Amino acid sequence: MTARYGIIGYPLGHTMSPVLHNWGFGQFGLDARYEAWPLEPEGLSAFIERVRTDDIRGVSVTIPHKRTVMEFLDRITDRAKAVGAVNTLYWDGGELCGENTDVIGLVAPLRKLARPASALVLGAGGAARAAVAGLLELGIGDVAVANRTASKADSLAQDFNVRAIPWENRMDHAPGLICNTTPLGMAGAMEDRTPWDADRFPAGCIAYDIVYNPLETRFLREAREAGCATVSGLEMFLHQGLAQFALWTRLNMDEECARVLLLDALA
């Protein structure tokens, strides 16, 4: 019987996850299929019952279910507990488990670069929580958060025992890594915007944008022009997906081929 996988979210906009996972299944000759399942919040409890009874092997979880799904699971990894959000359901020894591969995906491209001593996360939403957890997991000693709404930065900083700095003063700091988790620079109305002034990039810093559409945001372009290393949100997306696939199948997709696949899908 064809093994079933899918993504839940609402509204479920365009997602590249089916492209990635179905390609992976094909590469390994697995009889499996990954589908998109739009799911309203009220349907979550019944859906999890279906996962248990219909032998669904793995689920990607996105907004608005990342937090609420946690109460329905048998086990949650420490990483996902720290973030307070689950983006992956998988089976382990008969238990339905929750992991957060956004954190794994965020960290993976940074492991290929020299580890910065300090980092500044811009934004204080769900993505910022994953970013802070990842940067701490990477061993960065000095992590700070700046957010337009200061109270949200304060509460995130308190949860992770990191520093909050005022949004207005963010560019007075010279971190080794700047990670944008705000929608500034995203395709559409925000595309011309950036959370950082072009002439304020610290020498040698890494600029990381979790936005992947466009592939190179204004923030990343100006950082590159200032001589900084840059990491696109596509890397985070790719690696969170590779980590999901490995949890589900115990197999590792070829990273470079998967990257080319996603670049083609975005083009």
The nearest distance, CB 167 to ligand ATR, in angstroms, is 7
For residue 18, count other CB atoms closer than 10 A to its CB. 17
CA-angle at 107, arms to 233 and 228, nearest 5°: 60
Q: What does the DSSP 8-state code read for residue 94?
A: T
Query: Minimal distance in Å, beta carbon 61 to ligand ATR?
Result: 13
Distance (Å, whole) CA 176 – CA 266: 29
Measure CA of the first residue to CA of the last residue in the chain; give whole Å: 34
Closer by beta carbon to ligand ATR, 187 or else 251 = 187
Residue 147 Cβ, how far from ligand ATR at the closest point, in Å?
5
Q: 51 or 124, CB closer to ligand ATR?
A: 124
For ligand ATR, give the closer residue by CB, 124 or 144.
124
Nearest to 218 by CA among 205, 235, 232, 237: 232
Report the residue number, 148 or 163, with the smaller CB distance to ligand ATR: 148
Binding site for ligand ATR (CB under 6 A): 123-128, 147-149, 152, 181-184
- Residue with token string 């696109």: 232
Closest CA to 163 of 118, 219, 196: 118
Residue nearest to ligand ATR (CB): 125
Strand order, beta sheet including 177-180: 163-166, 142-147, 118-122, 177-180, 206-209, 229-231
Return the SS3 of 232: coil
List active site positions.
Answer: 66
Minimum distance, C-beta of residue 184 to ligand ATR, in the bound complex (Å):
5
